[in-house]
């Protein structure tokens, strides 16, 4: 009986492993084809694969182990760590400035008040300082943890290799966070935010797919549902889905209440976000805005295919990870991610 159970469990494990392997191979192939088509594999600004091969060979293992342990204990961290990397890169580039605890820092700005995952970065950094002191930047930890928390954890495989070699910035100002796109932005506003960071329409659509996991504060959604005391639902919102959102986010909503960004499969990193958009079930106004442009809507259609989504997301994450990075002798390597020059 016991050995039969073990055999069944073993077959189950193999099936999962085979699926993950097949998925991974398809993504790598799709990724290479997409890169070739776009004339990419563009020069990166001083980053490299395995930048720490000699100085911290165990880096990937340490980041993955700590991140997976923490996400297993608290699944909400998957979305938090992915968003942390995005909010780091869009303000001053991917330089870990979002982590700094200084007066009027980025962290204190409105759009960052619901950002989290800082304690995971601290835990990883603590371990790294024991193994390879003063070597690995906080900005690289943020980039690695984003992938491992949101994507590698689910697939038990890394869908893309994170380029490393970023260094940490020393400036963190709430007043710089205007570079972050607003959830109430229309299509043109979103595209402008992205192009200001060197990212294009494809990146905007692919990266918005991050909203296949995680939550939004009700306050990010209620303006779509209620205006003043009257009920005036955003016409871009499916009526039945609007009712679901209203149940989760009444008017007024209790402080701190949240709603899933992907109403169907909120903790799965899959392509259902794009299927939702086609049904007018995007949770944020900025999600719905993607359907208001013909080229973006066509991309949404393409990315309902999970293999295409994983390939496009991987490529755009690498691009986002290169935004205004500090490399070479610029910036610093912090020992404590929350403090400049520590």
Among residues 287, 237, 293, 243, the alpha carbon closest in space to that of 262 is found at: 287
Q: Which residue is nearest to ligand HEM (CB)?
A: 214
Classify 167 as helix, strand or coil: strand
- CB under 8 Å to 63, separation ≥6 — which residues? 124, 141, 144, 145, 148
Classify 95 as helix, strand or coil: coil
The answer to the question of residue 83 lying near ligand HEM (CB under 6 A) is yes
What stretches of 38-102 show up as alpha helix (H) in DSSP?
59-73, 77-90
DSSP-derived secondary structure letter, 164: B
Q: C-beta of 60: minimal distance to ligand HEM in Å? A: 20
The answer to the question of residue 190 lying near ligand HEM (CB under 6 A) is yes
Closer residue to ligand HEM, CB minimum distance, 80 or 322? 80
CB atoms within 10 A of CB 275: 18
Cα distance between residue 145 and residue 156, in whole Å? 14
Q: Which residues in 283-312 contact ligand HEM (CB under 6 A)?
A: 284, 286
Residue 299 burial by Cβ neighbours in a 10 Å radius (0-12, 13-18, 19+) = buried
In this chain, which of 80, 166, 197, 322 binds ligand HEM, going by CB under 6 A?
80
Pair of tokens at residue 265: 């499969």
> What's the Rg (C-alpha) of the chain?
20
Closer residue to ligand HEM, CB minimum distance, 136 or 249? 249
Q: C-beta of 257: minimal distance to ligand HEM in Å? A: 10
Is residue 101 part of an annotated ligand binding site? no
Question: Residues in the chain, how many?
Answer: 342
In this chain, which of 208, 271, 281, 332 binds ligand HEM, going by CB under 6 A?
208
Closer residue to ligand HEM, CB minimum distance, 183 or 331? 183
Number of residues interacting with ligand HEM: please give it, by CB under 6 A. 25
> How far lies 201's CA from each of 169, 190, 334, in Å?
28, 9, 34
Is residue 262 part of an annotated ligand binding site? yes
The pattern of x and - marking residues 210 through 239 that bind ligand HEM according to CB under 6 A reads: xx-xxxxx--x-------------------
The answer to the question of residue 125 lying near ligand HEM (CB under 6 A) is no
Closer residue to ligand HEM, CB minimum distance, 66 or 290? 290
The answer to the question of residue 207 lying near ligand HEM (CB under 6 A) is yes
Q: Which one of 47-55, 81-89, 154-162, 303-311 is the stretch in contact with ligand HEM (CB under 6 A)?
A: 81-89
3-state SS string for 169-226: CCCCCHHHHHHCCCCCCCHHHHHHHHHHCCCCHHHHHHHHHHHHCCEEEHHHCHHHHE
Q: C-beta of 194: minimal distance to ligand HEM in Å? A: 7
**Angle, in degrees to the nearest 10, between helices 201-208 and 306-320:** 110
Closer residue to ligand HEM, CB minimum distance, 169 or 266? 266
Catalytic pick from 87, 308, 318, 322? 87
The answer to the question of residue 79 lying near ligand HEM (CB under 6 A) is yes
Whether residue 85 lies in the annotated active site: no
Q: Which one of 77-85, 101-109, 129-137, 161-169 is the stretch in contact with ligand HEM (CB under 6 A)?
A: 77-85
What is the residue whose two structure tokens read 């001083």? 46
Q: Looking only at Cα atoms, what is the longest distance across the chain?
A: 65
**Contact residues: ligand HEM, CB under 6 A:** 79-80, 82-83, 86, 114, 181-183, 185, 190, 204, 207-208, 210-211, 213-217, 220, 261, 284, 286
In the annotated binding site, the residues are 88, 91, 93, 95, 97, 106, 181, 211-212, 262, 265, 270
In the annotated binding site for substrate, the residues are 181
- Kindly list the catalytic residues: 87
């Amino acid at each position: 009986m016991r050995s039969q159970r073990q055999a069944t469990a073993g077959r189950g494990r193999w099936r999962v492993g085979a699926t993950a392997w097949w998925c991974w191979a398809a993504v790598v192939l799709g990724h290479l084809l997409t890169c070739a088509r776009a004339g990419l594999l563009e020069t990166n600004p001083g980053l490299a694969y395995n930048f720490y091969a000699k100085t911290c060979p165990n880096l990937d293992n340490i980041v993955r182990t700590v991140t997976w342990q923490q996400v297993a204990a608290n699944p909400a961290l998957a979305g938090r760590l992915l968003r942390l990397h995005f909010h780091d890169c869009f303000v001053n580039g991917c330089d870990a400035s979002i982590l700094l605890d200084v007066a009027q820092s980025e962290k204190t700005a409105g759009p960052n008040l619901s950002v989290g995952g800082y304690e995971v970065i601290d835990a990883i950094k603590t371990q790294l300082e024991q193994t390879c002191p003063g070597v690995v930047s906080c900005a690289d930890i943020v980039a690695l943890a984003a992938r491992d928390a949101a994507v590698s954890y689910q697939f038990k495989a890394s869908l893309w290799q994170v380029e490393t070699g970023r260094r940490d910035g020393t400036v963190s100002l709430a007043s710089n966070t205007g570079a972050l796109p607003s959830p109430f932005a229309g299509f043109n506003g979103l595209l402008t935010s992205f192009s200001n960071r060197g990212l294009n329409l494809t990146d905007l659509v692919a990266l918005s797919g991050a909203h296949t996991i995680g939550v939004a504060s009700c306050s990010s959604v209620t303006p779509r549902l209620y205006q003043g005391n009257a009920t005036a639902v955003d016409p871009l919102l499916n009526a039945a889905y609007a009712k679901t959102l209203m149940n989760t986010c009444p008017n007024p909503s209790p402080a701190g209440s949240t709603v899933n960004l992907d109403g169907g499969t909120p903790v799965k990193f899959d392509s259902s976000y794009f299927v939702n958009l086609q049904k007018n079930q995007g949770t944020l106004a900025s999600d719905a805005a993607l359907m208001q442009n013909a080229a973006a809507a066509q991309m949404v259609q393409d990315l309902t295919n999970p293999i295409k989504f994983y390939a496009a997301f991987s490529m755009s994450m690498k691009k986002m990870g290169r935004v205004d990075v500090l490399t070479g002798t610029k910036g610093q390597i912090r020992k404590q991610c929350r403090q400049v020059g520590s």
